[in-house]
Every structure is written in C-alpha cells, then in structure tokens.
Copies of this chain bind each other. A is one copy, B any other.
Amino acid sequence: MTEQSHIGFIGLGAMGEPMVRNVLAAGFSVTVYNRTSARTETAAAHGAEVALHPAGVLAPGGIVLTMLADDAALQDVTLGDDGICGKLGPGGLHISLSTVAAETSRELAAYHAESGERFLTAPVFGRPDMAEVGQLNICVAGNDEDKLRARPVLEVMSSGIWDFGDDVGAANIVKLSGNFMIAAACEAMGEAFTLCERHGIDRGAAHQLFSNTLFASPVYKGYGAQIAAGEYQPAGFPMILGLKDLTLAGEAAAAKQMPMPLADLCRQRLTAGLARGRADWDWAGLAQSASDDAGL
C-alpha cells in the first residue's frame, strides 16, 4: 500500500459502517464522514479519523468512497458547499457505491472531470450481513485505470467484482436491474406461497422445496424465509428505499422507451404497502399484498 493507503469514506449507514471496518481491518488509514455524527463512533473506535464535513475526509489526489441513501444525498456530498468535487484534486478518485440513477453518475463524472478528478461507479449487491463479512458483489463501470486503482480497496469488501465497461452509468443500470429482479422474486413467492396457503399447504414447506432445488440461491433463501413466515420486521432494507430503486428502474426504462409491466406491478405493491402504513417493514413485505388481496 502506497499512496492509496488512505481512504476517505462518506456514509456510515447499515451498509457503510461494516464496509469501513473491513477497510480498516485491511490496514488502510481511513477518514470518515457521516451526516449524523453519532454513527461514526464505532468506526472511530476501530481507528478511523472523523471529519466534520464531507470534504474533510480527503487526502489530495487520493481516493474517496461514498455510500449514500439516494441521488440527492450523493449530489449533496459531491456538489454541495462542503462537497468533495473540486477539492479532491487532480488524480483524485471518487468511487460511488450508492444505488442511484445512471444519469446522476454521468453528471457527477462530468463535474469531477472539470477539475481533473476521476469518478468510478461501483454499486454493491448484498445486505448488511454480507457487508460485515466482506462478501459483497460489486459492479464497476468507468475508466480501466480507475478500476485497477480501486481494486485493492474494493477487494477487502467483496467476493466478486464484475466489470460492465466504460460508461459510468452502466453499473447503475445493472444494479437497478438486480434490485428489480429481487422485488420480482418476492412478488412471485408472495403469490405462490399464498396459493399454497389457501389450499391448506404450509408456506414454509413450499419454501423449503423451492429454495433447496430449482431456486436454491441467496435471494430465494433469504427473502423467501421472510415471505414464508410473513414477518418483515426489522427491515434490512426498508420499503421506501425499495420503491426509490424501482422508480429509478422505471425511469431508466422510460428513457429508452420500453415498458416493464412486472416492474410496474412491484412498484404498485410497494406503494400500497406504504399507503397501508408499512414504512418500517423490509421491502420483501411487498409480498404481503398477495395475502391482503386474498383476504388473509
């Protein structure tokens, strides 16, 4: 580790916090920033410096990672008054881990380029427990040199890095596609398990079969267990963020003039769930609509 041994990290939520601990454990020196400062205590206890504003995490020409809830938050820490854009400096690299619109990435890349700064898109798949053990999957898109430079720090967080070319928006599209596919799987299980239940079959028994055979995979095992049990609290990823991602997917489809009826259905389900007061449910709870409509 040479000049890359310092990492700035912005956003210590349920995902960012364990990611930072893995970066620290790998021997990087890290400066962190979080809007709610109380969230920085654990990172500090593990050896991180704590900055008081976004630009405070920077080492000139260094690397900064951002892991934020939505487009607005990412734009704010990048382009806001204390934002990193223009202060990161020539040769500096902004690695954006958040789930945002492709267009947002393209815009931020352009702003950074005006100051000779680099921007790499690197959204992550995996829930907090996977972040904890450094087993995320990361989609990268951007400049090849930037990908090489990002690799050491991304590797300490992940079990797989997947390259989607040089358009920085591409990795966002893939990430949104994946989240859509998760929602679709939840809807499918919600309808299937409810059909079984209405015919006197145990939801858990159906889940056991499917998640150990045809659909033996993390999504069907993990989300499926919630849906089989009909228990959606506490939320690993709340409905409102799921709706945000499905809305972004819908906008990405509209921008290219393609209908996505299943994505529309998932968005209807999430919207109905929120309207029924389920803001603190995990987004897998979109599957509950199938039961609602069956009078259960």
Contact = CB atoms under 8 A, between A and B. Distances in A.
Interface in A116-161: 125, 137, 139, 160
Interface string A63-95: 000000000000000000000000000000000
Contacts of A264: 261, 264-265, 267-268
Q: Among A173, A181, A212, which residue has the most Cβ atoms of chain B within 10 A?
A: A181
A173 B274 CA distance: 22
Given A125-B214, A174-B209, A198-B256, 20 more contacts: A137-B209, A160-B212, A162-B205, A162-B208, A170-B201, A177-B195, A177-B196, A178-B214, A180-B188, A184-B187, A185-B185, A188-B262, A214-B217, A215-B218, A257-B274, A258-B271, A258-B293, A259-B272, A259-B294, A260-B268
Interface in A178-216: 178, 180-182, 184-185, 187-189, 191-196, 198-201, 205-206, 208-210, 212-216
A217 to B, nearest CB: 4
A49 interface: no
Given A181-B192, A191-B180, A217-B214, A256 B199 contact: yes
B182 A214 contact: yes
Contact of A181 (B180, B215, B295): B215
A181 B193 CA distance: 10
Contacts of A254: 247, 271
A277 B268 CA distance: 23
Contacts of A59: none
Contacts of A1: none
